């Protein structure tokens, strides 16, 4: 996938996008057998599991439950999480809505009704034609970096830029982390990793809607 | 209401275990007998009634949830296929099918493989009917040379990414 800015051509490629929720329930409200049946009925391929114990035994489960096209459904019953991964963020959001609709119609559970938080995790590779580690150092705090260099007796520079909401606690339901750094295995590319959590659906959707264009604006600003 | 029950259970390779209990909920006790059932159940595990056994040291260890099934990742070597393709594949296993159906199958499989492997348009690909890539080449001749004389455990077909014609079913 490519996105073009007006001043320069930046190519942003999604490596993996995950969209999901953590449910605000003590016991995971979806029975493993029912969930598998509902997904199979709607064209999903199920991951193989041998000899499930009969109901009413509760089954804990974690991992990839099913897939359809390039979307995978993941869940962890202990953590109360259910999510999808796709190749593109927009696809992941749409696939999660498809999943929520299937669960609502087949199993009678509205996933959005008891959400502790929504979570989006996405990794991008960005190329701008410039060298990221040189560009990133432009945005560092020169005064601090001089002092750091004196302590370490070596010329230092920032490897990455990480942004989070001011004053927010990482271990909370409302948080995000945007890491912009050189790709470790190929210094021509940026790796941009994003983790976003919010208890509000509309806030999550607004963040997702503007994310890719905002990331390119951030990189544009770094390279300006 | 409490149940008074006498359990008889046989553990393969061990003595008959008898256990009396007065309980409100089912007993699920680790067959190894020294800890609650907290082992993870792998994808290839078989969960059988024989696994729900009672410890021989008669400790009460109640676990209402049966461990946890850890589901492994889907294989990356073949794509998800739509129900229509699976139905035709199933028919193909039973015997010959109409050419029209075979073409539809190849079309569906090629379409999914293109998305899954992000195949480049114009390249020549040899695929199995499950969507596994056997060989890839920039030219038809190059591809045919690569697969010539080789034996495959599954049937394959040759196709050019982005084009509708299929050939070389072997």
Nearest chain A CA: its distance from B106 CA (Å) = 16
Compute the distance between CA of residue A224 and CA of residue A138 in angstroms, rounded to an integer: 9
**What Cα–Cα distance (Å) separates residue A152 from each residue in A144, A147, A155, A162, B25?**
12, 9, 8, 22, 63
Cβ distance of A47 and B66 shorter than 8 Å: no
Nearest CB among A48, A61, A67 relative to B80 is that of A67
Tell me, what's the pLDDT at A149?
98
Q: Where are the alpha helices (DSSP H) in B63-121?
A: 83-94, 99-117
Interface probe with B: pick from A28, A49, A66, most Cβ of B within 10 Å: A49
Q: Which residue has the higher pLDDT, A21 or B53?
A: A21
SS (H, E, C) A88-142: CHHHHHHHHHHHHHHHHHHHCCCHHHHEEEEEEEEEEEEECCCCHHHHHHHCCCH
- Chain A hits for B28, CB-CB cut-off 8 Å, are 57
Report, as an integer, the average pLDDT of A57-61: 89
Q: For the beta carbon of residue B163, count every other beta carbon within 10 angstroms.
A: 11
* A57 with B66: Cβ contact below 8 A: yes
* ipTM of model: 0.85
What pairing do the DSSP bridges indicate for beta strands A71-76 and A81-86? antiparallel
Picking from A224, A222, A214, A215, the residue whose alpha carbon sits closest to that of residue A140 is A222
Reading chain B (170 residues) residue by residue, the pLDDT tens digits are 333 333 444 444 433 333 333 334 344 433 444 344 333 333 433 344 333 333 333 344 444 555 789 999 999 999 999 999 999 999 999 999 999 999 999 999 999 999 999 999 999 999 999 999 999 999 999 999 999 989 888 899 999 999 877 776 55
Chain B residues touching A61 at Cβ < 8 A: 68-71
| Facing B64 at nearest CB: one of A49, A58, A64 | A58
The better pLDDT of the pair A135, B34 is held by: A135
Q: Where are the domains of chain B?
A: 1-72, 83-167
- Using pLDDT thresholds of 50, 70 and 90, give the confidence band for residue A8: low
Q: What is the pTM of this model?
A: 0.80
pLDDT of residue B164: 78
- Across the interface, whether the CB atoms of B67 and A60 are under 8 A apart is answered yes
């Amino acid at each position: 996938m490519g996105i073009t800015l007006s001043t320069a051509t930046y190519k942003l490629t999604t490596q993996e996008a995950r969209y999901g929720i953590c449910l605000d329930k003590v016991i995971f409200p979806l029975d493993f057998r029912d969930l598998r049946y509902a997904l199979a009925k709607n064209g999903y391929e199920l991951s193989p599991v041998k000899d499930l114990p009969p109901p009413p035994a509760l089954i804990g489960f974690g991992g990839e439950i099913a897939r359809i096209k390039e979307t995978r459904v993941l869940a962890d019953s202990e953590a109360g999480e259910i999510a999808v991964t796709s190749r593109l963020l927009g696809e992941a959001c749409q696939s999660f809505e498809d999943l929520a609709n299937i669960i609502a119609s087949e199993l009678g559970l509205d996933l959005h009704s008891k959400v502790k938080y929504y979570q989006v995790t996405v990794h991008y590779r960005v190329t701008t034609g410039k060298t990221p580690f040189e560009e990133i150092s432009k945005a560092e705090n020169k005064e601090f970096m001089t002092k750091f260099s004196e302590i370490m007796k070596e010329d230092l520079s920032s490897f990455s830029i990480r942004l989070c909401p001011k004053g927010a606690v990482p271990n909370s339901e409302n948080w995000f982390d945007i890491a912009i750094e050189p790709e470790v295995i190929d210094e021509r590319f940026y790796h941009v990793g994003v983790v976003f959590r919010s208890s509000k659906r509309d806030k999550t959707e607004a963040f997702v809607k503007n994310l890719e264009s905002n990331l390119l604006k951030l990189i544009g600003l770094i390279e300006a | 209401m409490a149940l008074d029950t006498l359990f008889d259970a046989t553990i393969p390779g061990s003595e008959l275990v008898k256990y009396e209990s007065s309980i409100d909920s089912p007993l699920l006790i680790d067959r190894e007998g020294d800890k609650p059932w907290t082992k993870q159940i792998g994808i290839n595990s078989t969960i059988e009634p024989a696994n729900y056994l009672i410890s021989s040291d008669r400790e009460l260890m109640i676990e209402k949830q049966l461990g946890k099934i850890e589901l492994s990742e889907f294989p990356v070597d073949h794509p998800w296929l739509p129900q229509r393709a699976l139905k035709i594949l199933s028919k193909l296993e039973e015997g010959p099918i109409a050419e029209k159906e075979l073409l539809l199958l190849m079309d569906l499989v090629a379409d999914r493989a293109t998305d899954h492997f992000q195949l480049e348009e114009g390249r020549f690909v040899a695929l199995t009917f499950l969507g596994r890539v056997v060989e890839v080449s920039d030219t038809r001749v190059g591809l045919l040379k690569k697969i010539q004389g080789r034996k495959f455990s599954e049937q394959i077909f040759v196709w050019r990414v982005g084009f509708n014609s299929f050939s070389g079913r072997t």
